[in-house]
Copies of this chain bind each other. A is one copy, B any other.
């Protein structure tokens, strides 16, 4: 470790550490001659300031905590990229942790992050409606912004999940589908999933159709569970179309159906949610509703920055939930019902 300190520089240059510090942070308060000597010393010792010390002294770190379920889902990876680029431009660095959709990990990670004294937090939690974690952040006065969690009460950046889901499902009803099933991860574990289910219900009701109970399955599955597959293929009341709570699920469903020799869209129409770029490359291409992941990240940074700016209960707090527009992406995974 090449750890030369400001003290070494001071000795080498023949000045006090205070002057060295000034030479770096307020060069105009130092005589040109001195400045030159100090710069030379810095160069000679290849001195690099210790951010830890600066941060401890300053009481702020320029560190940003980012807490997301997983980077294995491109939705979040893209979002992080958006955060990173926006934050980097402002001189902020990212401390990244993942929770694997586990509330306990969420709490633990957030603790770690705040102990590191991050200046703020951008996070996606399983359920924002009742989160002791978020309550504590608020109580502690630690600025944070949620991503993907849509909330009226808390600072957040997301699409309108309910409306977006309804839009997606309308793609199906418009084609004449009357029996539409929603496939999703565990509802109780995700506020977004519930909101999307509501959108599903909205669209069906609007079309005068009956909403079915959400069909919940294990998210990590590599393929659809047998139970699900048989509900889709064998049941006498099998649906003619499915709305998937996210694209990963939709893609898994497409594969499983293909393996089960069910033609998409001929025998089963599918619409997803997320807008993963790769869905367009599939054959058939996946119809879905796109979330602007990169922008969600970038905007979350903006929101956070305004909350860290010092203006506590100002304009920024008037409307905590930011809704970004979603976009329908048509695709060949949707067709008319076969019957």
A interface vs B, CB < 8 Å? 1-2, 48-53, 55-56, 61, 66, 70-72, 74, 77-78, 80-81, 84-85, 88, 93-98, 111-112, 114-117, 139-142, 251, 254-255, 276, 278, 280-284
B71 touches A139 (CB 8 A): no
CA distance A115 to B1 in the complex (A): 11
B77 touches A72 (CB 8 A): yes
B84 touches A78 (CB 8 A): no
B93 touches A2 (CB 8 A): no
- Give the distance to chain B from A61, nearest Cβ to Cβ, in Å: 7
A51 touches B96 (CB 8 A): no
CA distance A53 to B52 in the complex (A): 8
A97 touches B84 (CB 8 A): yes
Q: List 22 A-B contacts (CB under 8 A).
A: A1-B140, A49-B115, A52-B56, A71-B78, A71-B80, A71-B84, A72-B78, A72-B81, A74-B74, A74-B77, A84-B97, A85-B98, A88-B97, A93-B95, A93-B112, A94-B95, A96-B96, A251-B278, A276-B278, A278-B281, A283-B283, A283-B284
Chain B residues with CB below 8 A from A50, complex form = 56, 115, 117
Sample of 5 more A-B contacts, CB < 8 Å, known A52-B55, A251-B281, A255-B281: A52-B56, A71-B77, A81-B98, A278-B281, A283-B283
Chain B residues with CB below 8 A from A139, complex form = 2
- Interchain residue pairs A-B with the least CB separation, the first 3: A283-B283, A77-B77, A2-B140
B74 touches A70 (CB 8 A): no
CA distance A326 to B174 in the complex (A): 46
Chain B residues with CB below 8 A from A80, complex form = 71, 96
